[in-house]
Amino acid sequence: MPKSYYTLPLRLDEILQKKMHTQCGLRESVAQNLFLLLTTHFRESRFDGEYGCSIWEEDFSLQSSNRWKDEIVKSVTTTIAEYEKRLANVRVRAEMEDHEFTLGEHKRRIKRRLGIWIDGVLNQTNEKFEFYKAFYISPLSF
């Protein structure tokens, strides 16, 4: 498959200087857009305030785990339907778990990690598409 999509980050300076910008294929382009959607909070983009998802809008420590995960899945699913039209039959799953880190002999730190799985089909090629990304979202320490 030809590489006909620009990679992120987009280097407009290279394009304006008529230099070749790094390109990628469809699969990588979709993955990069999904990552950007997941890491962008609403109203962060000055051109489209709805671009992004609600992961960063929630107070992680106060939410009940199941309700919070359901809201995240709903937000991500809605966002993908709106902003990633190259993907069909999208299924989103979210899991949250606490990871404990030992910082020294008597110091421990727990961070909450959110894992997001996105499965679907690439419209252009009808190929199965899988995406996974994990984010540390809340530092808890004791």
Which whole number is the average pLDDT over 43-59?
79
Asked if residue 138 has pLDDT above 90, the reply is no
User: pLDDT tens for residues 99-116?
Assistant: 787 777 777 777 888 899
Which whole number is the average pLDDT over 51-67?
71
Question: Which pLDDT does position 142 carry in this prediction?
Answer: 37
pTM: 0.81
**Residue 75 dihedral angles phi and psi, to the nearest 5°:** -65, -45
Q: Which domains does the chain have, with CATH numbers?
A: 5-141 (3.10.450.40)
> What average pLDDT does the chain have?
85
With a pLDDT cut of 90, the percent of the chain lying above it is: 39
The DSSP H or E segment spanning 45 is none
| Peptide bond between residue 9 and the one before it cis (omega within 30 degrees of 0) | yes
Hey, what are 96's tokens?
């949250």
Contact of 64 with 102, CB cutoff 8 Å:
no
